[in-house]
Amino acid sequence: MASDLNSLLLERLNGSGEGLPSVQDLVAEMAAADPRMALLARIIAMRRVAAENRQAEEPEDQPVPPEVYNKIVAIRRELDELRGRNDELAAALGACYLCWGTRIDCVHCHGQGGSGSFPVDPGGFDQFVVPAVRRHSSMHAPGISANGGQTDGHGNEGGTA
């Protein structure tokens, strides 16, 4: 009997044996005679339902709408531009271009790449830093603070002009 069932199952699984009952029918028939087969029948049914649910939940591959695609392209372009600017500024300040020395797990500097940690790029320094220093110096000249008080030339209140 068991070998007959095995051969029937194999024929059915191989796609041959027209007119034969389905695997589920065979298992159900065997489950009536054997409680262990009843358990197997329940497991098979639960797996089939779970597989059908997974298929129903998975979204079908659909083309991305043009407006979404265009937005992704624009965001990617902006990201690339900002990364480039970040890299230039980091080089101008001699800092790590990945984390600026803030991450111990950084593959480039291991958290040791703050400003001045690497050789400064002179062109970038002239482009980014020098104008900022000039502007800052002119705004914080000795004698006048941002709030109108007297300073000592180093931004400390109470100095004499």
Handedness of CA 105, 109, 110, 115 (dihedral sign): negative
pLDDT per 10-residue tile (average), the chain, 161 residues: 63 61 71 75 79 71 88 95 96 95 95 96 94 87 54 52 42
pTM of the model: 0.48
Backbone phi, psi, residue 157, to 5°: -65, 150
Output the pLDDT for position 15.
Answer: 59
Distance of CA 130 to the CA centre of its chain: 36
Token representation of residue 9: 């199952």
Output the pLDDT for position 20.
Answer: 62
Backbone phi, psi, residue 51, to 5°: -65, -40
Of 36, 29, 38, give the one whose Cα is nearest residue 4: 29
Q: How many CA atoms lie within 13 A of 68 on its CB side?
A: 4
CA distance 32 to 132: 86
